[in-house]
């Protein structure tokens, strides 16, 4: 699915009019085009399924036999997304991804790229974690994946309840991370 920038321009112009402003006035005249370009960039992930993202970022390397049970953790991956309920920015988000390799490890930058691409959709923080875990599992072949996300939602900080210090934490545990509380606690201690 390609993002329809022409439709976005048309609708943004309509929103400007609905807000009571003149879409032809200086300063706003090019706003629909700028927003369309921005949306194509920040919602790029909507063009791809989780399977396609896993395929795009699946470059793996064989792991030495003596390291096949080690945990790989990439922590503090900065992402942002947009809440599907209000189209509001979810920001200052930090993602930690952990997995236990099954004979191969994925390139570390690929983990950050996966987190970025999954976030570039209309999302819920909970689904971001689920999608990242699914893509990591598909890309690495490991069912043992954990995703920890902490973030701020402007639908809570800038509007509505206006609680500027509220942070949302979500966890997604798969495989051994779901079943082994000691492994879960070890990971959570590493994150903190």
**What stretches of 13-137 adopt beta strand conformation (E)?**
60-62, 72-83, 89-99, 104-106, 122-123
Helix (H, G, I), strand (E, B) or coil at 90: strand
Active-site entry in 24, 30, 52, 85: 85
Tell me 120's DSSP state: S
Q: For this structure, is 153 an active site residue?
A: yes
Instruction: Show Cβ contacts of residue 101 under 8 Å, excluding neighbours closer than 6 positions.
Output: 63, 67, 68, 70, 72, 140, 142
**What stretches of 16-164 adopt beta strand conformation (E)?**
60-62, 72-83, 89-99, 104-106, 122-123, 145-153
Q: For this structure, is 83 an active site residue?
A: yes
**CA 6-11-12 angle, 5° bins:** 100
Active-site entry in 60, 83, 150, 178: 83
Backbone angles phi, psi at 155, to 5 degrees: -70, -15
H/E element, 77: strand 72-83
Active-site entry in 125, 126, 137, 182: 125
Q: For this structure, is 125 an active site residue?
A: yes
Active-site entry in 33, 155, 178, 184: 155
Q: For this structure, is 85 an active site residue?
A: yes
Q: For this structure, is 155 an active site residue?
A: yes
Q: From residue 42, give the alpha-carbon distance in Å to each of 29, 34, 101, 159.
A: 21, 12, 31, 22
Active-site entry in 33, 60, 86, 150: 86
Please give the positions annotated as active site.
Answer: 83-86, 125, 153, 155
């Amino acid at each position: 699915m390609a993002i329809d920038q022409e439709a976005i321009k048309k609708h943004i112009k309509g929103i400007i009019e609905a807000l009571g402003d003149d879409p032809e006035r200086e300063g706003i005249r090019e706003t629909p085009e700028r927003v369309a370009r921005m949306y194509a960039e920040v919602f790029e992930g909507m063009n791809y399924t989780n399977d396609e993202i896993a395929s795009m970022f699946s470059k793996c390397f064989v792991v030495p036999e003596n390291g096949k049970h080690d945990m790989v953790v990439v922590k503090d991956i900065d992402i942002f997304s947009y809440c599907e309920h209000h189209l509001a920015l979810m920001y200052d988000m930090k993602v930690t991804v952990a997995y236990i390799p099954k004979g191969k490890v994925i390139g570390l930058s690929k983990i950050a790229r996966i987190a970025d691409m999954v976030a570039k959709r209309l999302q819920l923080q909970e689904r971001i974690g689920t999608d990242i875990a699914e893509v990591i599992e598909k890309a690495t072949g490991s069912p043992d994946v954990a995703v920890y996300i902490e973030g701020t939602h402007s639908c809570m900080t800038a509007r509505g309840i206006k609680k500027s210090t509220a942070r949302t934490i979500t966890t997604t545990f798969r495989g051994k991370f779901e079943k082994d509380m000691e492994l879960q606690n070890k990971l959570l201690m590493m994150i903190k």
